[in-house]
Amino acid sequence: MSPEPLIEANTEKNEIIAKCPVCKTDVCVTEKSYRCTSKECDFYLPRQQVARFIEQFQLETSDNLFATGLMKRKKNGCENLLGKRGRFNAYVGLNKHEKYGWQPHIIAFAKTIDSAHFRAH
């Protein structure tokens, strides 16, 4: 059974958190991912990737809030992220990986962020 009918059948039970950045249909939260409810769209964002990004850079946010921000905005200002060489500011967005689906990634580093959507500890 492909995942699309399963998503469609269980959409009422799954929370709708945003519009799909690809096709603008609803995106629901499943056990392992954030998925578009459209059968024609292949958008899915693994929850593990979101959680790993938050943990790696020590962001002060929930998984759902961060994922929603990524889907709503192409560029999310993040302040005080923790890197190997210390703290830094960056803009974060979504990138489609051929094998692993959509993932959060750093678009650009910045000295200052005009409007920070997320902040690290």
Q: Across the beta sheet with 86-97, what order do the strands follow?
A: 101-110, 86-97, 76-83, 116-119
Which pLDDT score, from 0 to 100, does residue 13 have? 64
Q: What angle do CA 107, 66, 87 make, to 5 degrees?
A: 55
CA dist 66 and 83 (Å) reads: 19
Mean pLDDT calculated for residue range 75-101: 92
pLDDT digits (tens, 9 = 90+) for 9-21: 444 568 999 999 9
This prediction's pTM: 0.83
pLDDT digits (tens, 9 = 90+) for 1-58: 344 444 444 445 689 999 999 999 999 999 999 999 999 999 999 999 999 999 999 9
Q: How far is CA 99 from CA 4, 8, 10, 88, 120, in A?
A: 18, 23, 25, 29, 29
pLDDT digits (tens, 9 = 90+) for 112-121: 988 889 998 7
Which pLDDT score, from 0 to 100, does residue 14 have? 81
